[in-house]
Amino acid sequence: MSRLHRFLRTPEAVAGTILLAMLFAMALSASLLFPGDPQAIAGPALLPPFQNWSLPLGTDRLGRDVLAELFHGARTSLAVGLAAAAAALVVGAVVGTLAGFAGGLVDEVLMRITDAFQTVPGFLLALAFVSVVGPSLGVVVVAIALGTWTGPARIARAEVLSIRERDYVAGARVIGMHPLAIAFREVLPNALPPVLALSSVIVAAAILTEAALSFLGLGDPNRVTWGGMIAEGRTVLRTAPFLSIVPGIALVLTVLGVYLAGEGIVETTAVRRGLS
């Protein structure tokens, strides 16, 4: 039985894949279905959903098309979530490999730095970083990665500690490979699987952090974000609660999709390992 086949047999994984596929479809089709600026005024202000079929989800306080904003927001969420998670995984894997492979003082210093990053609440750090450097998409990505690289670093280090004692590493030393080459060409690739197993949790956390940052007004002001939409809707929470509720549902479904698909992948690979 192929791995894909086994993956598709768990109902959670299928549900997660469908949710993620929908999200990617939304993000990719955003500028095709809704060309032009999603932040432009499209109709009368505060039009309720399902009233006018050219504006199916209605309009917000300023008369912007909610559905168009939702599609364009999917882009920002996905882009920031994936980029921040990738950055966190790369930094974490490199720091963890260096610490575990070098040992001694390097290990001690790198791990105390990791401790320090884990001691400061990640969201406060992101808040401070964005507020000092100024909000833009790249800064938000770095800010989120600052608070999330520590998990991958710890796992990579633990894995490297066990790998570095293996025979093929000793072999590489004997043939005179440079220690850095051994660390990154021989050890790191083998330490990656458990680190990558964390990726769904990190992508999910990154998407939620981005949403919270833009909810507090620290997202990229030139882009539509779901968090920003929720904050915008909050000003008319009493009269038009759907403006805050709809983008929130999109967020929940996205993060749920990431978790479910991630759990499916971990379960599938765990079964494969158990069999081999």
Partner 1 sequence: MTRALTLIRRRLVGSIFVLFIVIIGTFLLLEAAPGDAVDAYIVSTGGDAGMIELLRHRWGLDQSELTRLANYLWALLHLDLGQSVTFSRPIREVILERLPTTLILMVSATALSFGLGSALGIYAGARPGSFRDRFLSVASLALYAVPGFWLGLVLIVIFAVDLRWLPIGGIETLASDKTGLDRAADIAIHLILPVSALGFIYLALYLRMMRAGMAEAWRQDFVLAARARGLSRRRIVLAHVARNALLPLVTMLGLQSAQMLGGSVVIESVFAVPGLGRLAQEAVAARDTPLLLGIILTSAVLVILINLLVDIAYAFLDPRVGASEAGA
Q: Quick one: 16 or 38, whose CB is closer to partner 1?
A: 16
Look-up of token digits 């930094």: 91
Interface with partner 1 (CB under 8 A), residue from 22, 46, 125, 161: 125
Q: Quick one: 163 or 229, whose CB is closer to partner 1?
A: 229
User: What is the rounded CA–CA span in Å between residue 112 and residue 261?
Assistant: 34
**b (16+ CB within 10 A) / e for 211-248:** bbbbbeebbbeebbbbbbbbbbbeebeeebebbbebbb
Interface with partner 1 (CB under 8 A), residue from 31, 131, 222, 235: 131
Kindly state the number of chain residues that form the binding site for partner 1, as judged by CB under 8 A: 45
Question: How many Cα atoms are found within 13 Å in the side-chain-facing hemisphere of 214?
Answer: 31
Contact 212, 227 (CB under 8 A): yes
Q: Quick one: 124 or 170, whose CB is closer to partner 1?
A: 124
Rule CB under 8 A: say whether 13 interacts with partner 1: no
3-state secondary structure of 108: helix
User: What is the rounded CA–CA span in Å between residue 261 and residue 13?
Assistant: 5
Shortest Å distance, C-beta 91 to partner 1: 15
3-state secondary structure of 256: helix
Looking at 21-29, 89-97, 244-252, 266-274, which segment touches partner 1 (CB under 8 A)?
244-252
User: What is the rounded CA–CA span in Å between residue 7 and residue 244?
Assistant: 35
Rule CB under 8 A: say whether 105 interacts with partner 1: no
- Contact letters (x/-) for partner 1, 178-207, by CB under 8 A? --------------------------x---
Shortest Å distance, C-beta 117 to partner 1: 8
Rule CB under 8 A: say whether 256 interacts with partner 1: yes
User: What is the rounded CA–CA span in Å between residue 84 and residue 167?
Assistant: 35
Rule CB under 8 A: say whether 237 interacts with partner 1: yes
Rule CB under 8 A: say whether 123 interacts with partner 1: yes
Interface with partner 1 (CB under 8 A), residue from 165, 176, 238, 274: 238
Contact 60, 242 (CB under 8 A): no
Rule CB under 8 A: say whether 118 interacts with partner 1: yes
Q: Quick one: 42 or 251, whose CB is closer to partner 1?
A: 251
Query: CA 13 from chain center: how many Å?
Result: 18
Q: Supply 27's token pair.
A: 């993000």
Residues that bind partner 1 (CB under 8 A): 12, 112-113, 115-116, 118-125, 127-129, 131-133, 147, 204, 208, 211-212, 215-218, 227, 230, 234, 237-238, 241, 244-245, 248, 251-253, 255-256, 259-260, 263
